[in-house]
Amino acid sequence: MKEMDPRYRLPSRSHLRDEVIPSQYESLKNKLHSVLNDIDFVAITTDLWTSKANEGYITVTCHLVLNSFTLESAILATRQLLDTTNHNAINISETLKGVLDDWGVTNKVVCVVTDNDAVMLIACELFEYKHLPCVAHTINLIVQDVRLPDFDVILTKCMSVVGFFKRSQIAYSKFKGAQGDNPHSLLQEMPTRWNSAFEMIKRILKTNEFITLALVSSRGAPLPFSAEEVDILNDISELLSPFEETTLSVSTNTKVSASIIIPVICELNHKVNNIKVNTEKGKNIFTTIKFSLTKRLASYETRTIPRIATILDPRFKKHGFCNPFNAEEGVKAVQPELFTKLPANPLHPPTSPTQEPSRFSFLQVKSQNKVHSSWADAIILMRQHFGKENQPENCDPLSYWQITTDGDAFKTLAKKYFCVPASSCESERVFSKAGQLISKRRTRQSSTVVDKLLFLNKNKHVINM
């Protein structure tokens, strides 16, 4: 800048921190406030994380359906806990309450979505909010259950082979050279992401021929994979493939996901039960997966929010359940909700007098005094909903309820329950961005600056809401 225009004075770090960032933060915060004031329901995701400066934070994100029937999400805050020395449920709930009070959404929260940590569950109970365990996190626990000795042995072998190629530039060059044009790289497992092990195995199976060629021609290399080990890896890949598809489908924050929780679990069970494994070790893993599926995922079909969301979704309705009993319980849960959204029970307006006197005047009296039943109307609306054909799979349920003529009660319920995400991945995505903002060379930022930077970085889209 000195060469281009010596008169120009670059803004200093303190000017950016004390003037520019707070000004932009307040402007965007006011915009988000106006958006939240205009809606009646929000869902919350939250999680704890630790920065590179070894400081603990809690991130709170909200999810909502605008009056235009558009699904949106935004970060509310990234703060340190009120008591930085204690991560108990009371401390978490009080910190969370402070965030929600600041934004004026305390009484608008439909559900809080977190991981399966017991402390988070207790915090929601203290707050008296409905809690939904993150489906993606639960799937991760199922895959962790599979970490049997047989599985760990073959996984350790995979990590050893990949690690050898990562350490040896010569061996890696041989591996890539053997593939010719557009060679594939090898992927190493990350302990915090179950699907990284799956991706590693898939890539090994895809390039095993070239891995063998490179290993046999390299000094100090581990043994190539035997035919038996390849068969085991094929079984593991087949068993884990449905879990990856399910994880991806429930980890979105741009599409309605609460209503697909129960259907994707049904589909997951269907796919796993139809997998054919060829090895004894594969059969042991298969048995463990089936048991863990029932143990960890069956409860979602008994939860009120997934039940109601599935019933409301025109693609699924009662057909989206594994158990017909749970479908009927879902119907029972929707009817009272519809009843509360319908008008009160006024008397029918008196009928205009007829030209000729009626022989049955008592019928006119009864007709004039007849009370309108909102409960009966709710039942009729439900029957009309189920009487229509299910919509195709690519139907957007929010768009469907936006243009439907079934009344405002269903529209209100769609906004209430379709805002709930199936996973807490949005909070975890903030951690990745925070890792870039609070790097090893930027570890002395105050928690206030961290909050504002993340808020501005992740909420740019709020301007267009």
| H/E segment holding residue 171 | helix 169-179
pLDDT digits (tens, 9 = 90+) for 210-220: 999 999 999 88
Is the confidence at residue 179, as pLDDT, over 70? yes
Strand ranges (E), 115-257: 131-133
Confidence of residue 25 (pLDDT cuts 50, 70, 90): very high
Each as own residue / partner, the long-range contacts of residues 374-379 (CB below 8 Å, 24 or more positions apart, any chain) are 374/339, 374/342, 374/343, 374/344, 374/345, 375/335, 375/339, 377/342, 378/335, 378/336, 378/338, 378/339, 378/342, 378/409, 379/335
Q: Hey, which residues does 133 pair with through a beta bridge?
A: 114
What's the confidence (pLDDT) of residue 350? 47
| H/E segment holding residue 113 | strand 109-114
Question: Is residue 47 a contact partner of residue 40, using CB atoms and an 8 Å limit?
Answer: no
Q: Tally Cβ neighbours within 10 Å of residue 310.
A: 29
Look at the alpha carbons of 178, 184, 188, 194 in this order and tell me if their dihedral is positive or negative.
negative
Q: How far apart are CA 349 and CA 361, in angstroms?
A: 17
Is the confidence at residue 355, as pLDDT, over 60? no
Answer whether CATH 2.40.128 is correct for domain 22-134+424-464.
no
Q: How far apart are CA 28 and CA 103, in angstroms?
A: 13
Question: Is residue 301 a contact partner of residue 265, using CB atoms and an 8 Å limit?
Answer: yes
Q: How far apart are CA 264 and CA 246, in angstroms?
A: 6
What's the confidence (pLDDT) of residue 435? 77
Q: Tally Cβ neighbours within 10 Å of residue 336.
A: 11
Lowest mean pLDDT among 129-133, 223-227, 235-239, 337-341: 337-341
Between 225 and 341, residue with greater pLDDT: 225
Please report, as a single letter, which amino acid is at residue 205: L
Here the tokens at position 95 are: 């910190």
Half-sphere exposure of 91 (CA within 13 A, CB side): 15
Confidence of residue 291 (pLDDT cuts 50, 70, 90): very high
Between 276 and 368, residue with greater pLDDT: 276
Residue 314 is given by DSSP the state T
Task: Please state the pTM of the whole predicted model.
Answer: 0.86
Q: How far apart are CA 461 and CA 71, in angstroms?
A: 12
Nearest in space to 47 (alpha carbons), one of 85, 98, 81: 81
pLDDT digits (tens, 9 = 90+) for 63-93: 999 999 999 999 999 998 888 888 889 999 9
Where in the sequence of the chain do the CATH 3.30.420 domains occur? 22-134+424-464
Question: Is residue 77 a contact partner of residue 60, using CB atoms and an 8 Å limit?
Answer: yes
Here the tokens at position 82 are: 């009120």
- Residues in Cβ contact with 432 at an 8 Å cutoff, skipping those fewer than 6 apart: none
Here the tokens at position 167 are: 């350490």
Q: At what angle do helices 304-312 and 324-341 cross, to 10 degrees?
A: 80
Per cent of the chain over pLDDT 90 is 58
Please report, as a single letter, which amino acid is at residue 237: S
| H/E segment holding residue 411 | helix 408-417
What's the confidence (pLDDT) of residue 176? 92
